[in-house]
Amino acid sequence: MSNHLDPLSSPLNIENIQEIDNLDLTIMQKHHLRILAHCLQILKIINLDNSLEYQDKNSLREWCDNQSKKFDDKKFSDLFYEQLESTSKKLRTFSKKIGKNIQDLEIDDLILLVEQR
């Protein structure tokens, strides 16, 4: 069963998490990598679900609002939106820098991004 069918599950699968945990990175770099990978998967899900460009802030806002309804927490939606929007910009900038489309980014690409910091 796909992770994105369960609304409370992580977009990352256990293999992704284990792959990150096995990398020769600092704890902070691994944490940063997990967050980036998680956000990237959410952005891919939003794009697949809506067939929209990542730059469409309305689809991102709508997705965050729908997620917050599960918790009845508008502040969660606002904070989640800000974080995803910020990460989306970072990933878009990085993807252009390495000559890839954002939806084509993989864990190896995110490792490069994390190691640059």
Average pLDDT (17-41) is 91
Q: How confident is the model at residue 57 (pLDDT cuts 50, 70, 90)?
A: low
Confidence check: pLDDT of 3 > 70 = no
* Lowest pLDDT segment from 43-57, 58-72, 78-92: 43-57
CB under 8 Å to 3, separation ≥6 — which residues?
9, 10, 11, 12, 13
Instruction: Write out the H or E segment, with its range, that includes residue 88.
Output: helix 74-98
pLDDT of res. 103: 87
Provide the whole-model pTM.
0.76
d(CA 106, CA 98) in angstroms, rounded, equals: 12
pLDDT of res. 53: 47
